[in-house]
Amino acid sequence: MPTKPYYAPGSLSAAFYDVVTAADVRLAGDIGIYAELAPPGAQVLELGTGSGRVAAALAERGFAVTGIDIARPMLEQAKARLGSLPADVAGRIELRLGDMTALDLKRAFDLVICPYFGLAHLPAGAAWRNAFATAARHLADGGLAAFHLPSPAAMRQPPADPTAPVLEQPLAGGARLRLYVRERRFREDLGRLQQVIDYVELDRAGRELRRSSERLAYYMADPGPPAALAGLALDRPPIPLGGVGEIWVFRKA
């Protein structure tokens, strides 16, 4: 079966993003960490806002959030989420198609966040330097930028058993979603973890309804140097989250 990139049009990674993240205990508490980084009512820019999981939760707490994402299928879900929110909460969220390596909204925010490994989707190097420059360009002096990145231990996992589901989640009407890691390879020289994840949707009788193989790459590097180049200094020790990553918080001098 041909593989699709993660979050591509028609991908099941986009369609089931909320189902999978809701089941992911390793993300528990991330929103509380971001909310502590700025006072309620602050202006927040989220790079890689995805389906609006974090943007909606921050808007519920009184923040005004601008969320940008490069993937239309993810932004479509974020837009659909707005419709389910109270009007005042939805009114505090602005969504835009955009690339975190080349964004210039010509305005400053109190806080820039890049949750759940958003930056790690991009090769370390020029893309990371540009993403940190984007964060710095959109921050008021003294503002914070928080990037959630995978830990080295999470990147250097052994190959998975492709026959054993890594996740099984109930869906509406008795259907089920199963995820398998079909391939997993870490290249030390590139700091890159490449995975092929099979999404399988089953009906209530266990018959396969949809199946899709999707490629997910994460890149690992020390974020300190590209952040420093952009004028961002580490503000505190990285905050561990869920045993698989850390939230790195930088301050614009």
Whole-angstrom distance, CA of residue 34 vs CA of residue 126:
26
**Backbone torsions φ then ψ of 2, nearest 5 degrees:** -65, 145
| 53 sits near ligand SAM (criterion: CB under 6 A) | yes
Separation in Å, CA 28 to CA 42, 201, 209, 248:
23, 25, 30, 16
Separation in Å, CA 171 to CA 9, 103, 176, 201, 204:
21, 36, 5, 9, 9
| 121 sits near ligand SAM (criterion: CB under 6 A) | yes
Number of amino acids touching ligand SAM (CB under 6 A) = 22
| 101 sits near ligand SAM (criterion: CB under 6 A) | yes
| 34 sits near ligand SAM (criterion: CB under 6 A) | no
Smallest separation, CB 52 to ligand SAM (Å): 8
Tell me which residues in 60-79 interact with ligand SAM (CB under 6 A): 68-71, 74
Whole-angstrom distance, CA of residue 32 vs CA of residue 93:
18
| 49 sits near ligand SAM (criterion: CB under 6 A) | yes
| 117 sits near ligand SAM (criterion: CB under 6 A) | yes
Tell me which residues in 142-161 interact with ligand SAM (CB under 6 A): none
CA dihedral for 140, 247, 28, 179, sign (positive or negative): positive
Smallest separation, CB 67 to ligand SAM (Å): 8
Smallest separation, CB 204 to ligand SAM (Å): 28
Axis-axis angle for helices 72-83, 53-60 (nearest 10) = 30
Nearer to ligand SAM by Cβ, of 81 and 202: the residue is 81
